[in-house]
């Protein structure tokens, strides 16, 4: 996951992202794991179209940005450590937008609007996912300074 992110930052070395990961670890967040968990949502949402819901996706869990590990960290230890940084607030907003957009996909799917759900997944959800990842990396890069 981080390998694909560092390619988006010309002039930044892979080592700088290892350091970003270390900053995250030092404040209690396993960055690779939370990025992988959020990436897994795209696969879970895509499976809706192949396998149906079968009650596996709980809308409350999807919509609430404070339930997942990253959300608990952002609204707890992360706020304590980085709450004064602009990048922290951008990360909180990006994370909330990610969950809101994922919930919109689920709502449209469960309402029978599969075409709209698929479009949201391909566009707004993808964009929200990318923004969420980038905002986290930017937060930890700012925290290194």
pLDDT for 19 = 64
Encoded tokens for 93: 């907003």
The string of pLDDT tens digits covering residues 33-52 is 888 888 888 888 988 888 88
Inter-residue contact 95 to 58 (CB < 8 Å): no
pLDDT for 18 = 55
pLDDT band at 85 (very low <50, low <70, confident <90, very high): very high
Quote the mean pLDDT of the chain. 84
What whole-number distance in Å separates Cα of residue 79 and Cα of residue 122? 31
3-state SS class at 27 = coil
Looking at residues 112-124, what average pLDDT do you find? 96
Q: What is the pTM of this model?
A: 0.81
pLDDT for 2 = 40
- 15-24, 57-66, 79-88: segment of lowest average pLDDT: 15-24
Long-range contacts from 21-24, C-beta under 8 angstroms, 24+ separation: 21/140, 23/140, 23/143, 23/144, 24/136, 24/140
How far is CA 49 from each of CA 54, 105, 108, 121, rounded to the nearest angstrom?
11, 11, 12, 11
pLDDT band at 32 (very low <50, low <70, confident <90, very high): confident
Tell me the domain boundaries of the chain: 15-144
Closest CA relative to residue 74, chosen from 24, 37, 33, 124: 24
Q: Most confidently modeled of 14-23, 27-36, 62-71?
A: 62-71
pLDDT band at 3 (very low <50, low <70, confident <90, very high): very low
Half-sphere exposure for 26 (CA within 13 Å, toward CB): 11
pLDDT for 20 = 61
- Burial of residue 92, with CB atoms counted within 10 A of its CB: 0-12 exposed, 13-18 middle, 19 or more buried: buried
DSSP 25: H
> Hey, which CATH number is domain 15-144, 3.40.50.1010, 3.30.465.10, 3.20.20.370, 1.20.120.30?
1.20.120.30
């Amino acid at each position: 996951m981080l390998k694909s992110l560092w390619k988006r930052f010309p002039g930044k070395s892979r080592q700088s992202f290892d350091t970003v990961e270390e900053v995250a670890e030092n404040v209690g967040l396993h960055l690779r794991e939370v990025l992988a968990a959020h990436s897994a949502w795209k696969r879970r949402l895509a499976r809706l179209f192949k396998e149906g819901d079968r009650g596996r996706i709980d809308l409350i869990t999807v919509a609430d940005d404070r339930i997942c590990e990253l959300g608990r960290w952002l609204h707890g230890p992360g706020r304590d450590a980085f709450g004064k940084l602009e990048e922290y607030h951008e990360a909180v907003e990006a994370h909330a937008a990610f969950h809101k957009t994922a919930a919109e996909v689920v709502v449209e799917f469960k309402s029978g609007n599969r075409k709209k759900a698929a479009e949201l997944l391909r566009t707004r959800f993808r964009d929200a996912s990318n923004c969420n990842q980038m905002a986290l990396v930017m937060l930890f890069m700012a925290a290194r300074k």
